Amino acid sequence: MNNNETFSLIKERVKSEQKIRILAFGSSNTERILPGMHWFDVFDLAIGNTFGRVHCCINTGIGGNTSKDLLDRFEDDAVFYKPHMAFITVGGNDSNPDRNLSEDQFKANLMELFNRFNKMDCKVVYQTYYAPIHELCPDAHMEKFYRYMEIIRQTAKETGSGLIDHLVRWEYLRKYHPKKHLPLMQDGMHVNRRGNMVMGLDISRHFDVKANIPYANSVHDTDGRGFWDEAVEIQKLMDSNSSQG
């Protein structure tokens, strides 16, 4: 099975209106810690807007977690919910030199997470991170960070899992449109609500679902108009990078 086949199987289940439980499993990029839209909120809205309430979204992200932490709490925070699909978004803490987690161990942990989900007949979608603000992060961390993101790509390919490679798109933004990139960041290693919205739109597109604001065309709903404009603009800017595959 390849990356596209994984997405196709998930989309087929959603389109057939079979109930699907979707798990977000990761660290602070997954935990719901900020006001405003989260990337998982956008995806939740997009499925509902496109197909109705055929799904249940479950977020068990915990800030500061490494891939080892995900394995340690797998029974309580993954198995318990019996998901049909799981986003795995991890690696920022694993690549922190202070955590002393080697590349080989990171790869082994990612493989073990896949194997455990696979035994549950749960499809896995790995995600890379957005682009950090280098000036606010230690050089030693950044050097490891990009290698660990490449390990995520390799693991997705080897396991035939889904892959949403945010980093390749966000790096283009960071390097060539820094004035667009910085307002999407909460700090050096985290996106804010605006960055979350961009991520959510990109994720939704992989599943052929689209988020809309309820009652956006109503004369009584003026707040909803233009809600997605900035995120859509950023997404189009990322699309304009012809070097992307």
Pick the closest to residue 163 from 171, 172, 153 (CA basis): 153
Range of the domain at 101: 3-210+223-237
Question: Is the pLDDT assigned to residue 19 strictly greater than 60?
Answer: yes
Contact 162, 3 (CB under 8 A): yes
- Assess if residue 244 is contained within a domain: no
Three-state secondary structure along 43-72?
HHHHHHHHHCCCEEEEECCCCCCCHHHHHH
Which DSSP symbol is given to 122? Answer: -
- Assess if residue 56 is contained within a domain: yes
Supply the pLDDT for residue 224.
57
Supply the pLDDT for residue 17.
84
**Single pTM value for the model:** 0.93
**Which is more confident, 29 or 241?**
29
The tally of domains found in the chain comes to: 1
Sequence-ordered alpha helix ranges (H) in the chain: 3-15, 39-51, 67-72, 74-77, 103-119, 139-159, 166-176, 178-181, 193-206, 229-239
55-82 average pLDDT score = 98
Q: CATH code at 35?
A: 3.40.50.1110
Question: What is the rounded average pLDDT for all residues in the chain?
Answer: 92
Q: What digits encode the pLDDT tens for the residues 26-55? A: 999 999 999 999 999 999 999 999 999 999
- Assess if residue 161 is contained within a domain: yes
What phi and psi values does residue 169 have, to the nearest 5 degrees?
-80, -40
- Assess if residue 46 is contained within a domain: yes
- Assess if residue 112 is contained within a domain: yes
65-70 average pLDDT score = 98
Q: What digits encode the pLDDT tens for the residues 152-192? A: 999 999 999 999 999 999 999 999 999 999 999 999 999 99
Question: With bands split at pLDDT 50, 70 and 90, how would you rate the model's confidence at 227?
Answer: confident
Supply the pLDDT for residue 219.
52
